[in-house]
Amino acid sequence: MATRLQFENSCEIGAFSKLTNAYCLTAIGGSENFYSAFEAELADVIPVVKTSIGGTRLVGFLSVGNKNGLLLPHTTTDQELQHLRNSLPDQVVVQRIEEKLSALGNCIACNDHVALAHTDLDKETEELLADVLGVEVFRQTVAGNVLSGSYCALSNRGGLVHPHTSIEDLDELSTLLQVPLVAGTVNRGSEAIAAGMVVNDWTAFCGSDTTATELSVIDNVFMLRGDTRPGDGFDGMRKSLLDSYK
Partner 1 sequence: MPRRPRRHQRLKSWPITFSPFGRALARMGSVSKPKRHSESIENHTPSSSNGFVKHPLDEKPEGSESSDGEFDGVVQADFAFFDPKPNDFHGVKTLLQTYLDVEEWDLSGFVDLILEQTTVGTVVKVEDDEDEGIFALATALNLSRYREQKCIIQLKDLFLAKASQEKGVADQLRVLLGEQAHNVGLLVSQRVVNLPPQLLPPLYDSLFNEVSWATEDEPTEELRNSFRFKHYVMLSKIYKHKNPEQKRKRSDDSEEAIVYVKPEDEIFHKLSSWSFCFPLRTQQPAPHEMKNYRSMGLIMAVEADKIPTFRQELGSLINES
Site for partner 1 contains 163 (CB under 8 A): no
Of the two residues 33 and 79, which places its CB atom closer to partner 1 in the complex? 33
Number of residues that bind partner 1 (CB under 8 A): 12
Closest distance to partner 1 from the beta carbon of 71 (Å): 29
Site for partner 1 contains 209 (CB under 8 A): yes
**Exposed e or buried b per residue across 36-55, where buried means at least 16 C-beta atoms within 10 angstroms of its C-beta:** ebbeebbeebbebbbbbbee
Give the separation between CA 199 and CA 183, rounded to whole angstroms.
16
Cβ atoms of 101 and 92 closer than 8 Å? no
Site for partner 1 contains 124 (CB under 8 A): no
Any idea what DSSP says for residue 70?
A: E
Neighbours of 229 (CB within 10 A): 10
Site for partner 1 contains 9 (CB under 8 A): yes
Site for partner 1 contains 8 (CB under 8 A): yes
Give the separation between CA 32 and CA 242, rounded to whole angstroms.
42
Which of these segments, 1-9, 138-146, 163-171, 197-205, binds partner 1 (CB under 8 A)?
1-9
Which of these segments, 116-124, 162-170, 188-196, 227-235, binds partner 1 (CB under 8 A)?
188-196
Site for partner 1 contains 240 (CB under 8 A): no
Site for partner 1 contains 126 (CB under 8 A): no
Site for partner 1 contains 200 (CB under 8 A): no
Q: Which of 26, 52, 190, 203 binds partner 1 (CB under 8 A)?
A: 190
Which stretch of DSSP H or E encloses residue 96?
strand 93-96
Site for partner 1 contains 10 (CB under 8 A): yes
Judged on CB neighbours under 10 Å (0-12, 13-18, 19+), 152 is buried
In the sheet where 108-110 sits, what is the strand order?
108-110, 114-117, 136-139
Residues that bind partner 1 (CB under 8 A): 6, 8-11, 31, 33, 188-190, 208-209
